[in-house]
């Protein structure tokens, strides 16, 4: 009833080509964004903003970056965390070494550095395909962390090799509280998500998908293979690089290179698979599942404890959480092998007919 697009006629090409062609989608998105921008910072406390939402947004952005490469262009990557590390460390260095640089410019430059690294390690994709391609990005993962630790320049010769993100000041306004950092993150993520959504409907995005579906066929119809694949690596790494810069500046503050270990790369890969490969929304849903769900389980088990008044050994609880989490991943995949985003799509299909399915 509410979600019915019948009667929305498009009379111009511009209308037909909007990002969100359905009015209800536009309204929902506007309401959702307004809520996230205006209401959440007002009602959210530090726990919500600083410990749950900000990391969720940052990991969503990283997942989005990986989704562009893996989900849309079909190139498997296990080096996401390394690109984030490049972003984090380079943003720190730009702010440190270029006096008076605007912080957003530093983020963009850091993203460009990550993109450059992405292009270099993307080169083997011209010859190697599928799971085998993972070798290039794995090499990148280990090499970048090694280099960050080995060469003191990256951490300004700190003895332990950690960096401490500088204060974020934009036009004289300091982003120093969790709420402000959340807003900055939200702004960056919203703009970049919109850009990605748009990019994926453009010629470039369609070229990505053609390469994903079958690269031989794509090159036969005249899609330049080298340009397209490397562009995918560059854009994806750019997103991850910016996510890394946000991760250091808006979330953790002080980071060591090990924060960007292979473990994190895998977790971001989990996000896009569970959320939905090749879907912008999927990146967000997947990030929510992987980052927030274990916390929810942890909270839930403490309620169970309180409710029943029995204290179960914490080791047992922690291990049970891990088992339940794993079990749920399997369960969700069996219910919907194409990820949570697909589940949402099915819901929308149903909503179109609801409440009169016949």
Partner 1 sequence: MELIFFIEVLAGGLLAGVMYALVALGFVLIYKASGVFNFAQGSMVFFAALTFVSLTERGWNFWLALAATLAVMVLLGVATERVVLRPLVNQAPITLFMATIGLAFVLEGLSQLLWGSQPHGLELGIPDVPMEWLSRKWNVNISQFDLFAAFVAGALVAVLALLFQKTRIGRALRAVADDHQAALAVGIPLQHIWAIVWAVAGFVALVAGVMWGVRNGVQYALTFVALKALPVLILGGFESILGAIIGGLIIGAGEKLAEVYLGPYVGGGIESWFAYVIALLFLLVRPEGLFGEKHIDRV
Partner 2 sequence: MKTALAVALAAAAGFSTQAPAQAKEQFVPVNSYWVGPYAPGGSGIAAGMIDYFKLLNARDRGINGVRITWEKCETEYRNDRGVECYERSKNKGPTGATLIHPLSTGITYSLIEKGTTDKIPIVSIGYGRTDASDGRVFPYVFPLMTNYWSQNTAKIKFIGMKEGGMDRLKGKKIVNLYHDSAYGKETIPILETQAKMYGFTVTHIAVPHPGNEQQAQWLQIRQVRPDWVILRGWGVMNPTALKAAAKIGFPRDHIIGVWWSGAEEDVIPAGEAAKGYIAAGFNAPGADHVVIREIQKHVYAKGQGELEDKSRLGTIYYNRGVLWGILTTEAVRKAQERFGKGKPMTGEQVRWGLENLNIDDKRLKELGAVGFMQPLKVSCMDHEGGGAVKFQQWDGGQWKVLTDWIASDQSIVRPMIEASAAQYAQEKGIARRDCSTEK
Interface residues toward partner 1, by CB under 8 A: 124, 127-129, 131-132, 134-136, 138-139, 141-143, 146, 149-150, 214-217, 220, 262, 266, 270, 273-274, 277, 315-316, 319-323, 325-330, 333-334, 337-338
Q: Does 255 bind partner 2 (CB under 8 A)?
A: yes
> Would you say 325 or 344 has its CB closer to partner 1?
325
* Contact call for residues 244 and 83 (beta carbons, < 8 A): yes
Least Cβ distance, residue 277 to partner 1 (angstroms): 6
> Would you say 192 or 271 has its CB closer to partner 1?
271
* Contact call for residues 244 and 62 (beta carbons, < 8 A): yes
Tell me the window of 3-11, 63-71, 157-165, 224-232 that interacts with partner 2 (CB under 8 A): 157-165
| 295 contact, one of partner 2, partner 1, none, CB 5-8 Å limit per kind | partner 2
> Would you say 61 or 73 has its CB closer to partner 2?
61
Q: Which of 158, 191, 198, 333 binds partner 2 (CB under 8 A)?
A: 158
299's CB contacts (< 8 A; 6+ apart) are none
β-bridge partners, 181: none
Least Cβ distance, residue 269 to partner 2 (angstroms): 16
**Half-sphere CA count of 284, side-chain side, radius 13 A:** 14
Judged by DSSP in three states, 254 sits in: strand
Tell me the window of 126-134, 154-162, 204-212, 233-241 that interacts with partner 2 (CB under 8 A): 154-162
Residues in the chain, overall count: 358
| 29 contact, one of partner 1, partner 2, none, CB 5-8 Å limit per kind | none
- Tokens representing 151? 């060469």
> Would you say 31 or 217 has its CB closer to partner 1?
217
| 274 contact, one of partner 2, partner 1, none, CB 5-8 Å limit per kind | partner 1
Query: Beta 169-170 vs 163-164: how paired, if at all?
Result: unpaired
- Tokens representing 58? 């940052």
Q: Which of 37, 104, 199, 343 binds partner 2 (CB under 8 A)?
A: 343
Alpha carbon 292 to chain centroid, angstroms: 14
Segment 42 to 101, residues that bind partner 2, using CB under 8 A = 45-48, 50-52, 55, 96
Could you please report the per-residue DSSP string of 116-139? HHHHHHHGGGGT--GGGGHHHHHH
Q: Does 307 bind partner 2 (CB under 8 A)?
A: no
Exposure string of 69-88, with b = 16+ CB inside 10 Å and e = fewer, is bbbbbbbbbbbbbbbbbbbb
> Would you say 90 or 207 has its CB closer to partner 2?
90
Alpha helices in the chain (DSSP H): 13-16, 23-34, 40-43, 46, 54-66, 80-97, 103-122, 134-150, 178-199, 203-213, 215-220, 225-246, 262-275, 280-287, 293-308, 314-335, 340-353
Q: Which of 146, 151, 331, 354 binds partner 2 (CB under 8 A)?
A: 146
* Contact call for residues 105 and 171 (beta carbons, < 8 A): no
Contact mark string toward partner 2, 188..227, x via CB under 8 A: ----------------------------------------
Contacting residues toward partner 2, per CB under 8 A: 45-48, 50-52, 55, 96, 142, 146, 149, 156, 158-162, 164, 166-167, 251-259, 261, 285, 288, 291-296, 298-300, 302-303, 313-315, 317-319, 321-322, 340, 343
């Amino acid at each position: 009833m509410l979600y019915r697009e019948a009667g929305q006629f498009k009379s111009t090409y511009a209308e037909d080509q909007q990002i969100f062609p359905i009015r209800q989608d536009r309204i929902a998105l506007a309401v959702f964004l307004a809520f996230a921008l205006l209401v959440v910072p007002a009602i959210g406390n530090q726990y919500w903003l600083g410990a749950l939402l900000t990391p969720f947004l940052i990991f969503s952005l990283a997942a989005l970056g990986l989704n562009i490469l893996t989900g849309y262009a079909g190139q498997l990557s296990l080096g996401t965390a390394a690109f984030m590390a490049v972003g984090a460390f380079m943003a720190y260095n730009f702010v440190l070494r270029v006096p008076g640089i605007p912080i957003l410019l530093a983020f963009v430059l850091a993203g460009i550095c990550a993109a450059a690294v992405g292009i270099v390690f993307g080169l083997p994709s011209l010859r190697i395909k599928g799971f085998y391609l993972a070798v290039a990005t794995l090499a990148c993962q280990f090499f970048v962390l090694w280099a960050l630790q080995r060469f003191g320049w990256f951490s300004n010769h700190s003895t332990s090799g950690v960096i401490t993100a500088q204060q974020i000041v934009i036009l004289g306004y300091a982003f120093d509280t969790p709420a402000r950092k959340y807003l900055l993150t939200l702004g960056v993520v919203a703009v970049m998500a919109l850009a990605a959504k748009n990019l994926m409907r453009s010629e470039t995005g369609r070229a990505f998908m053609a390469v994903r579906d079958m690269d031989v066929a794509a090159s036969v119809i005249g899609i330049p293979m080298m340009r397209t694949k490397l562009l995918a690596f560059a854009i994806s790494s750019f997103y991850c690089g910016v996510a890394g810069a946000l991760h250091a500046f808006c979330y953790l503050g002080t980071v060591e290179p090990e924060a960007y270990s292979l473990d994190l790369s895998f977790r971001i890969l989990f996000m896009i698979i569970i959320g939905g490969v090749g879907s912008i929304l999927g990146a967000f849903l997947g990030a929510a599942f992987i980052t927030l769900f274990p916390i929810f389980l942890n909270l839930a088990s403490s309620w169970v404890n309180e409710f029943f008044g029995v204290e179960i050994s914490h080791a047992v609880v922690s291990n049970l959480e891990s088992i339940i989490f794993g079990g749920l991943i399997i369960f969700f995949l069996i219910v919907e092998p194409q990820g949570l985003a697909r589940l949402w799509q099915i819901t929308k299909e149903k909503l179109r007919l609801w409440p009169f399915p016949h």
